[in-house]
């Protein structure tokens, strides 16, 4: 037999295959041996990120991006504006990040023709693009909130003004895991009028991709936006030429608990995720509030310098928040170039300067500040200027002015089932009203006669069932009814209102229309009816349409049911907007009772299904309701931060009357600036901005 006859044709194929596999293995080993140093160098090389700071990006998130990108050990950050894009500065970048703000302004400032063409060229050659909210609108090829740069094959559905500052639910699919490493399933995220995305039927040439996350909720702050949110696109991953795009409708940069989504965006567009190394607050640092409109590279560099310095602790302020007391929490305020006339917030700035605060402005920001502010030629050297001013002339004691005491006695529930944040927000409000004395009660103290001698009993939000059980365990509901019937006032917010409904304390002939358990905390509008005038000193609350914003966290949707002896009440506000993880619940919420006012016996009752206590911005409505209940003015005059005060975090979880009293003591101690801290805040890294935690 010949040697060649030992192998069949099939055997020959197998042997050749084995040889080829052997060569492939050797080649792979050689590549591994020789290429490993190059791969290591690539891994060590920082991702060059261009962050757009021309006109358009604005809001706290515009500055959040600077903070997290500059602190990342994997990022080499530089700033770019419209002229920079048009002259080709993106050639130095691996990724362009476009923050939220105002998409039409981005389009105009980057350049409708030349700038957008340069950006598309950057992507065609392999660059990456990450856009959030307005940055996502800008990249689209159609829909509302245009014009658009047309390098992503998606369009926005419906009108853009759906709502703001909402915690909503998105659901990531399997492709999110495959493409970007994001875990499959639902996530709570911060939403502020971002696009509801759908794939375009006429995509731009060279653009392709897919939606990898969709909204799993229904939300409309104003109730005017009827386009269904549930099922619409929230995150898009795609390509344009050789480059990659990642569009996010919401704001993952605003909270640490969603920074993994930011990391995933970089994993997709740049080939690897980035890590975050957060900078903690240095004890005794000067608290500096930066107005969130940034006008170019000079202003962005100033913000970066302030954030890097251990001598300054940076926070962010906006026009609306300035008139509502946010400056009370800062030592200095910075109003950079890019800001417009602040209008109503001028009064807040005047008060800030009067109590010893310092204001610094340059560029267009100089048109927004009152006399007494420091007007600078530019933002360079801002850290040295602020630190020098505070060392040479620190503010005196006049910047802390607690109110007077002991005219109206307010009891606030702080027992089983209470939402500690709601209770402490209410305590902060009443503590700032001159002429109040505050005490805290639990269920046992209510049943034992703790309401005796009080003028008003206040029930915060929380777990309605647990609070009802705690208060009624030893006849507490009877004590509450007797207190109000004899002339006491009863105020409740959120789920605290359930205590007064017909199936519980029975102070009003109303019941909850349905049980809601899906809204973690979102801003919606309520619409006050004409009937509200009789309870609000002849004035219809809210704006010209009677609309007022509040926070909603699963409070009752109230509707009338039967009669209760001695009770007369009516709905004074209805929900104008809605939020639900179930789209079918959206219509059920709209038009339902959001506030009920009336009498029980000789006493007065006011119930809010939503929560006006959560922000000072909302508390004007709370002030007027308290005026109706207490038959006197309840105008809060919040104490301001004293320079050098210790920033003290106070944990809201498991609140008791004793703990609440300790929080109140710290609020009235000029040596402390108290910040309420929830479990979510702790998970989100808020401890880095505190000197201590109680």
pLDDT in tens, 46-79: 999 999 999 888 878 888 899 999 999 999 999 9
Do 487 and 603 contact (CB within 8 A), yes or no?
Answer: yes
pLDDT at 43: 54
pLDDT in tens, 482-494: 999 999 999 999 9
Distance from C-alpha of 52 to C-alpha of 62, rounded to nearest angstrom: 9
The mean per-residue pLDDT over the stretch 269-293 comes to 89
Residue 281 inside a domain? The answer is no
* 522 and 576 both lie in a single domain: yes
* 388 and 440 both lie in a single domain: no
Q: What is the CATH number of the domain that holds 362?
A: 3.40.50.2300
pLDDT at 38: 41
* 500 and 435 both lie in a single domain: yes
The mean per-residue pLDDT over the stretch 395-400 comes to 48
Residue 635 inside a domain? The answer is no
Q: How many domains does the chain have?
A: 5
Q: How confident is the model at residue 338 (pLDDT cuts 50, 70, 90)?
A: confident
* 30 and 59 both lie in a single domain: no
CA distances from 537 to 173, 525, 531, 540, 633 (A): 52, 21, 11, 8, 11
Domain boundary among 361, 377, 399: 399
**588's tokens:** 């059920």
DSSP letters spanning 595-663: EEEEEETTEEEEEESSBTTS-GGGHHHHHHHHHHHHTS-----PPPPPTT-EEEEEE-TT--HHHHHHH
pLDDT in tens, 211-258: 999 998 877 776 656 667 889 999 999 999 999 999 999 999 988 999
pLDDT at 29: 37
Residue 276 inside a domain? The answer is no
Cβ burial, residue 678 (10 Å; 0-12/13-18/19+): middle
pLDDT at 536: 79
Q: How confident is the model at residue 518 (pLDDT cuts 50, 70, 90)?
A: low
Residue 663 inside a domain? The answer is yes
* 599 and 682 both lie in a single domain: no
Domain boundary among 348, 366, 399: 399
Distance from C-alpha of 542 to C-alpha of 528, rounded to nearest angstrom: 7
* 21 and 51 both lie in a single domain: no
pLDDT in tens, 656-675: 999 999 999 999 999 999 99
Q: Is the pLDDT of residue 384 over 50?
A: yes
Q: How do beta strands 243-248 and 233-240 pair? A: antiparallel
Q: What is the CATH number of the domain that holds 476?
A: 3.40.50.880
Q: Which of 327, 319, 187, 173 is nearest to 251 (CA)?
A: 187
Residue 636 inside a domain? The answer is no
Cβ neighbours, 10 Å, residue 476: 27
* 126 and 250 both lie in a single domain: yes
Domain boundary among 382, 399, 416: 399
Residue 641 inside a domain? The answer is no
* 459 and 506 both lie in a single domain: yes
pLDDT at 632: 77
Q: What count of Cα atoms within 13 Å lies in the side-chain half-sphere of residue 133? A: 28
* 463 and 592 both lie in a single domain: yes
Q: Is the pLDDT of residue 143 over 90?
A: no
Distance from C-alpha of 245 to C-alpha of 148, rounded to nearest angstrom: 15
* 78 and 143 both lie in a single domain: yes
Q: Which of 503, 609, 500 is nearest to 562 (CA)?
A: 503
The pTM of the full predicted model, rounded to 2 decimals, is 0.80
* 603 and 495 both lie in a single domain: yes
**φ, ψ of residue 142 in degrees (nearest 5):** 175, 175
In sequence order, what are the beta bridge partners of 129?
96, 245
276-281-286-287 Cα dihedral, nearest 10 degrees: 70
Residue 638 inside a domain? The answer is no
* 32 and 53 both lie in a single domain: no
Residue 438 inside a domain? The answer is yes
pLDDT at 584: 44
DSSP letters spanning 252-285: GGGSGGGHHHHHHHHHHHHSS-------PPPTTP
**199's tokens:** 């794939």
What domain range includes position 674?
646-693
Cβ neighbours, 10 Å, residue 132: 31
């Amino acid at each position: 037999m010949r040697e060649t006859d030992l192998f069949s044709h099939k055997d020959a194929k197998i042997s050749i295959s084995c040889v080829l596999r052997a060569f492939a293995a050797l080649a792979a080993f050689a590549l591994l041996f020789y290429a490993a140093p190059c791969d290591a160098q690539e891994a060590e090389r920082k991702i060059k990120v261009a962050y757009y700071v021309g006109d358009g990006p604005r809001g706290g998130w515009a500055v959040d991006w600077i903070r997290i990108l500059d602190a990342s050990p994997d990022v080499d950050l530089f700033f770019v504006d419209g002229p920079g894009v048009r002259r080709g500065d993106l050639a130095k970048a691996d990724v362009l990040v476009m923050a939220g703000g105002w998409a039409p302004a981005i389009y105009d400032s980057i350049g409708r023709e030349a700038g957008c063409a340069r950006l598309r060229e950057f992507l065609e050659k392999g660059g990456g693009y990450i856009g959030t909210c307005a940055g996502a609108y800008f990249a689209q090829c159609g829909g509302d909130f245009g014009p658009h740069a047309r390098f992503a094959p998606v369009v926005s559905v419906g009108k853009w003004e759906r709502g703001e500052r909402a915690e909503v639910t998105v659901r990531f699919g399997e492709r999110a895991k495959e493409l970007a490493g994001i875990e499959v399933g639902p996530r709570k995220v911060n939403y502020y009028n971002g696009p509801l995305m759908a794939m375009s039927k006429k995509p731009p040439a060279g653009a392709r991709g897919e939606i990898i996350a969709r909204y799993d909720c229904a939300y409309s702050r104003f109730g005017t936006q009827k386009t269904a949110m549930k099922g619409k696109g929230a995150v898009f991953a795609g390509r344009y030429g050789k480059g990659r795009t990642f569009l996010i409708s919401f704001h993952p940069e605003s909270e640490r608990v969603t920074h993994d989504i930011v990391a995933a965006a970089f994993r997709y567009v740049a080939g690897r995720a980035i890590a975050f190394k957060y900078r903690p607050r240095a004890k005794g640092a000067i608290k500096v509030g930066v107005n969130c409109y940034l006008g170019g590279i000079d202003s962005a560099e100033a913000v970066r310098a302030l954030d890097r310095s251990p001598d300054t602790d940076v926070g962010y302020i906006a026009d609306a928040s300035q008139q509502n007391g946010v400056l009370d929490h800062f030592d200095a305020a910075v109003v950079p170039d890019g800001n417009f006339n602040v209008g109503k917030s001028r009064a807040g700035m005047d008060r800030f300067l009067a109590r010893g605060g310092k204001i610094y402005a340059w560029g267009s920001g100089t048109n927004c500040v009152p006399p007494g502010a420091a007007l600078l030629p530019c933002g360079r050297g801002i850290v040295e200027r602020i630190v020098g001013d505070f060392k040479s002339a620190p503010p005196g004691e006049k910047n802390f002015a607690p109110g007077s005491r002991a005219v109206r006695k307010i009891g606030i529930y702080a027992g089983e089932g209470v939402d500690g944040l709601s209770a402490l927000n209410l305590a902060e409000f009443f503590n700032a009203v001159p002429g109040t004395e505050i005490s805290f009660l639990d269920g046992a103290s209510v049943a034992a006669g703790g309401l005796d001698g009080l003028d008003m009993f206040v029930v915060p939000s929380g777990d309605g069932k647990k609070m009802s059980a705690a208060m009624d365990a030893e006849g507490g509901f009877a004590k509450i009814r007797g207190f109000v019937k004899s002339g006491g006032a009863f105020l409740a917010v959120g789920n605290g209102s359930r205590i007064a409904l017909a199936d519980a304390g029975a102070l009003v002939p109303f019941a909850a229309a349905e049980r809601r358990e899906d809204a973690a905390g979102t801003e919606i509008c309520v619409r006050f009816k004409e009937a509200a005038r009789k309870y609000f000193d002849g004035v219809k609350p809210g704006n010209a349409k009677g609309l007022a914003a509040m926070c909603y966290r699963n409070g009752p949707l109230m509707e009338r049911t039967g009669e209760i002896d001695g009770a007369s009440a009516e709905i004074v506000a209805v929900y104008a907007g809605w939020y639900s993880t179930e789209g079918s619940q959206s219509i059920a919420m709209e038009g339902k009772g959001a506030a009920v006012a009336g009498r029980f016996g000789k006493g007065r009752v006011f119930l809010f299904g939503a929560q006006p206590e959560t922000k000072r911005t909302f508390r004007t409505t709370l002030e007027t309701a308290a005026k109706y209940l207490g038959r006197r003015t309840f105008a809060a005059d919040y104490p301001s931060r004293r320079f050098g005060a210790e920033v003290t975090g106070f944990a809201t979880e498991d609140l008791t009357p004793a703990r609440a009293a300790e929080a109140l003591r710290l609020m009235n101690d000029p040596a402390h600036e108290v910040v309420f801290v929830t479990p979510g805040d702790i998970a989100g890294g808020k401890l880095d901005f505190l000197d201590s935690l109680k």
